[in-house]
Amino acid sequence: MDSQTVISSLNDQQKEAVSTNSIYTLVLAGAGSGKTRVLVHRVAWLIAIDKVPLQNIFVVTFTNKAATEMRKRIEDILNYPTKSFWIGTFHGLAHKFLRIHWEEAGLDKNFQIIDSLDQIRMIKKMLKTLNKSESDFSPKDIQLFINKNKDAGLRPNKLLDGRIEEDSEIIELYRYYDDLCKSSSVVDFSELILRVIETLRNNKDLLERYQNKFNHLLIDEFQDTNTIQYNLLKLLAGNHNSIFAVGDDDQSIYKWRGAKVENMQSFEESFDSTKIIRLEKNYRSTKNILSAANSIISRNSSRLGKNLWTDSHKGDLLSLYRASDERDEADFVISKINDYFNQGNLRSEVAILYRSNAQSRVFEEYLLKYKIPYKVYGGLRFFERAEIKDALAYLRLISNRNEDNSFERIVNIPVRGIGMKTIEHIRNVSNKNNISLWESSKKIIEGNMLSKRANNALYSFVNLIDKIDSLTKGSALSEIVREVIQSSGLIEHYGRDGQLNGEAKVENLGELVSASEGIITSEDISLSPLDDFLSYAVLESGSSQSSSEEDSIQLMTLHSAKGLEFPVIFLCGLEEGLFPHQRSINNQSELEEERRLCYVGITRAKKTIYLTYALRRRIYGIDHFGSPSRFIGEIPLDLIEELNSLELSLSSSTHSGNEYENNKPMQLGQRVIHNQFGEGVILAYEGNGPQARIQVNFYDEGCKWLVLEYAKLKFI
């Protein structure tokens, strides 16, 4: 393959990036500027032109989905499968490393990964054993504390130097938690990466080996790397390996979980003669969509600066729909979706985006009602569901008897007569002898330490696990899974009358079997298929719908939409307090992150975008009256078409005023003058007639709600 084949389809800046000789490259890639394309072609260039062997390349993506897709596209260009290719998320790659080097990392061979729900469970249990009340330290706060410190590379010991006295208790909890993880051989998300760094730092040979191996480090979504991830990258880079970082500071939306945009600014300082390449041509959206997005993001202060442009046509205006409440909003969205589908388009071309997961419920309800297939991303995902976690716990226990978390989760599910008292006993013996719950149970059974009934119950459980294990030795993975959900009694348990959503849960358990069939085992980790599957289940928790090939509407949060594109976008719930979120409204930098999130949302759209907001919305079962998001007002008026513009008739009542003024239709964005507050713009309104309330943003006085009848506004 010659160089032309690799870069012929690219524009000049993209070519420059793909074919660069620079050791350190920072690509500032605007939304829709062909970022993924550049990365994919860069890898192809390295392999085909620079003759770099695949195993010397290390590629970090933000999601598993992105990794899978990128790998596929690289294979398409190279025209051969990419075996033993280190491409994945930081977590996925760290996991791979730890599987290979579990010994050097001080882990058990078959360590398991826990997700954040498991982590909470563990913390709660820990508090119980330590006889601490959850009111002193909420489990969530402890979790936050632990993860925050791990993400900053700080172990309890490090924290104890120079600690503040009042922190010592929570640091002790952190230490205890780490011990607990060790004894049950589990690893949490943050631990994965921290452990890799520590292993490399404490093992010069290993570090050298990897520094010699990965000559080319490529990283996507660089703006969303946190401290420890960046440190890992620097460690691997050493003094001579090349780094090719791609990112967009305007799309940095993960500051809340420790991501540092500053990494982008400091990249140039950290690495000598960094070459900076800007990708500013947008290939995705129409001119109108891009103008709207640019107008919004231009309000932010701290930006590296990019000038995104397009030579596409103007396209449609952005549509704005004012819903009376969230049901009306959903109804509107559905009707537009039906129109679009009936014009012969695919459902999968449409995405409904929202700020928070809870908003998906109403949409789901309506989509179900109208029998429109859909797929939800995020929220409670497939592998996080209770029934699935139960089944996984059985599988984990089969793989590793000492995994206390799983033991406790399912020792009495389905109920088999092992109650609190028995479990308490098992825990005591386990604590006293410093052995796992499993070992402790066996000891108890042998010593006949319980009542006959309890002893029998416990025996039958221990026996069950052993039996499933020996029965399925050597069986295919899916056979093991099938056996587990059957003989554990889970199917029967969930299928029983009275179980909430019983059929759905049984169905999900069946899905788990199918999921285990589709797994392709990772090539270069010597992991049993079962352990491979268990890791996969945690790292890739999947969408919340069971997988199906059916053409369906895509529902997701703005965060999970990053990196994706759709012909038609519905950006919903554009209300102050919801988006921007209440918790960010009073903080300039957090508000700017919300604005970037909005920018991300709008730039997902290729052709059409609908913006919707609701005048009334139920949250926690209480009605809230919101006002339209400030972000709507940040889009130039001439780019927006209001689908149901305000046409208030004021004539119907006692209102005293001149006839013309009373009947004049009002529009959002209409400029008005108030005696006291001066000039402003109408942002929203509620109700009808003279009693209607309208919200005006006064240039000097800010936003105010006024009752139309008394406000005596002059329209100008």
Q: Hey, which bits of 39-173 come out as E strands? A: 57-60, 86-88, 112-113
Residue whose CB is less far from DNA, 268 or 507: 507
539 lies in the site for DNA, by CB under 7 A: yes
Q: Tell whether residue 655 is a contact of DNA (CB under 7 A).
A: no
Smallest distance from DNA to CB 321, Å: 22
355 touching DNA, by CB under 7 A: yes
Name which of 459 and 715 has its Cβ closer to DNA: 459
Q: Is 124 in the site for DNA (CB under 7 A)?
A: yes
Pairing verdict, β 86-88 and 112-113: unpaired
Residue 497 annotated as catalytic: no
Q: Which of 281, 322, 347, 604 is catalytic?
A: 604
Which residue's CB is nearer to DNA, number 86 or number 685? 86
Residue whose token pair is 């600066």: 305
Asked whether position 448 contacts DNA by CB under 7 A, the answer is: no
Q: Which of 118, 151, 191, 221 is catalytic?
A: 221
- What is the C-alpha to C-alpha distance for residues 348 and 311, in angstroms, rounded to an integer? 26
Which residues does 313 contact at the CB level (< 8 Å), separation at least 6?
A: 286, 287
Please report how close the Cβ of residue 37 comes to DNA at its closest, in angstroms: 21
What is the x/- site pattern for DNA, positions 188-217, by CB under 7 A? -xx---------------------------
**Selected range binding DNA among 413-421, 633-641, 657-665, 676-684, rule: CB under 7 A:** 413-421
Q: Which is nearer to DNA, 215 or 535 (CB)?
A: 535
- Distances 492 to 371, 378, 456, 471, 651 between C-alpha atoms, Å: 29, 29, 21, 20, 66
Name the residue with tokens 């026996």: 463
Q: Judge whether 567 and 608 are in contact, CB under 8 Å.
A: yes
Applying CB under 7 A, does 422 fall inside the site for DNA?
Answer: yes
CB of 454 to DNA, least distance (A): 5
Position 488 contacts DNA (CB under 7 A): no
Alpha carbons 649 and 659: distance in angstroms, whole number: 11
131 lies in the binding site for DNA (CB under 7 A): no
Q: Residue 498 — left, alpha, or beta (φ > 0 → left; ψ -120 to 50 → alpha)?
A: left
DSSP 3-state percent helix, strand, coil across the chain (nearest 5): 50, 15, 35
Residue 544 found at the interface with DNA (CB under 7 A): no
Measure the CA angle with vertex 535, ends 207 and 484; round to 5°.
150
Catalytic-residue membership of 604: yes
Spell out, one character per residue from 547 to 576, where the chain touches DNA: x when CB under 7 A holds, - when not: ---------xx-xx----------------
Min dist CB 699 to DNA, Å, is 30
Would you call 575 a catalytic residue per the annotation?
Answer: no
- Name the segment binding DNA (CB under 7 A); options: 26-34, 267-275, 319-327, 581-589: 581-589
Whether the bond into 567 is cis, omega within 30 of 0: no
What minimum distance in Å lies between the beta carbon of 427 and DNA?
13
Query: If binding is defined by CB under 7 A, does position 148 make contact with DNA?
Result: no
Q: Is 140 in the site for DNA (CB under 7 A)?
A: yes
In Å, how far from its chain's centre is CA 567?
A: 22
In the complex with DNA, the residue whose CB is nearer, 174 or 698, is: 174
Question: What is the three-state SS of 149-206?
Answer: HHHCCCCHHHHHCCCCHHHHHHHHHHHHHHHHHHHCCEECHHHHHHHHHHHHHCCHHH
Q: Is 220 a catalytic residue?
A: yes
Does position 378 interact with DNA (CB under 7 A)? The reply is yes
Q: Is 536 in the site for DNA (CB under 7 A)?
A: no
d(CA 637, CA 682): 12
Which H or E run includes 455? helix 452-471
Residues 214-243 that bind DNA (CB under 7 A): none
Strand 605-619 to strand 566-571: parallel, antiparallel, or no bridges (unpaired)? parallel
Nearer to DNA, 253 or 602 (CB): 253
Phi, psi of 320 (to 5 degrees): -120, 125
Q: Which of 11, 55, 56, 64 touches DNA by CB under 7 A?
A: 64
Is 209 noted as a catalytic residue in this protein?
no
- The interface region with DNA, picked from 173-181, 203-211, 578-586, 680-688 by CB under 7 A, is 578-586
3-class SS of residue 387: helix
Among 37, 108, 106, which residue's Cα sits nearest to residue 73? 37
Per CB under 7 A, the list member of 148, 163, 299, 421 interacting with DNA is: 421
Helix then strand count (H, E) for the chain reads 30, 21
User: Which residue's CB is nearer to DNA, number 393 or number 418?
Assistant: 418
Among 63, 112, 406, 440, interactor with DNA by CB under 7 A = 63
Q: Which residue in 1, 130, 346, 358 binds DNA (CB under 7 A)?
A: 358
User: Could you confirm whether 507 is annotated as catalytic?
Assistant: no
At 592, which amino acid appears? E
Query: Is the bond leading into 156 cis (omega within 30 degrees of zero)?
Result: no
The reply on whether position 92 binds DNA by CB under 7 A is yes
Q: Which of 305, 344, 474, 621 binds DNA (CB under 7 A)?
A: 621
What is the residue whose two structure tokens read 């010069």? 204
Residue from 16, 151, 188, 220 carrying the catalytic annotation: 220
209: closest CA among 56, 412, 4?
56
Please state the closest distance from residue 32 (CB atom) to DNA, in A: 20
Closest to DNA by CB, 359 or 608: 359
Enclosing H/E stretch for 693:
strand 693-698
Segment contacting DNA (CB under 7 A): 278-286, 372-380, 387-395, 504-512?
372-380
Query: Would you say 40 or 578 has its CB closer to DNA?
Result: 578
List of E strands, 57-132 = 57-60, 86-88, 112-113
Q: Which of 584, 603, 608, 627 binds DNA (CB under 7 A)?
A: 584
In sequence order, the 6+-apart residues with CB closer than 8 A to the CB of 311 are 281
Question: Which residues, 6+ apart, have CB-to-CB distance to 138 below 8 Å?
Answer: none
In the complex, least distance from residue 650 CB atom to DNA, rounded to whole angstroms = 35
Cβ at position 114, least distance to DNA in Å: 11
Query: Between 677 and 696, how does the x/- string for binding to DNA read (CB under 7 A)?
Result: --------------------
Q: How far is the CB of 511 from DNA (least distance, A)?
A: 19
Q: Nearest-CA neighbor of 258 among 90, 136, 93?
A: 90
Query: Measured between alpha carbons, how far is 457 from 411 in angstroms, rounded to an integer?
Result: 10
- Measured from the CB atom, the residue of 62 and 677 that comes closer to DNA is 62
- Contact call for residue 252 and DNA (CB under 7 A): no
User: Rule CB under 7 A: is residue 420 a binding residue for DNA?
Assistant: yes
Contact pick of 89, 286, 402, 516 for DNA (by CB under 7 A): 89
Q: 3-class SS at 652?
A: coil
Question: Is residue 412 near DNA by the rule CB under 7 A?
Answer: yes
Pick one of 56, 274, 356, 688: the residue that binds DNA (CB under 7 A): 356
Scanning 198-206, 273-281, 376-384, 673-681 for contacts with DNA by CB under 7 A, the matching segment is 376-384
The size of the interface with DNA (CB under 7 A), counted in residues, is 49
Sequence-ordered list of residues with C-beta below 8 angstroms from that of 617, at least 6 positions apart, any chain = 325, 326, 573, 575, 578, 623, 624, 626
Nearest-angstrom CA–CA distance, 177 and 183: 10
Residues noted as catalytic: 35-36, 220-221, 251, 604
Residues forming contacts to DNA in the complex (CB under 7 A) are: 62-64, 89, 91-92, 115-116, 124, 134, 138, 140, 147, 189-190, 253-254, 256-257, 355-358, 377-379, 412, 415-422, 454, 498, 539, 541, 556-557, 559-560, 581, 583-584, 590, 620-621
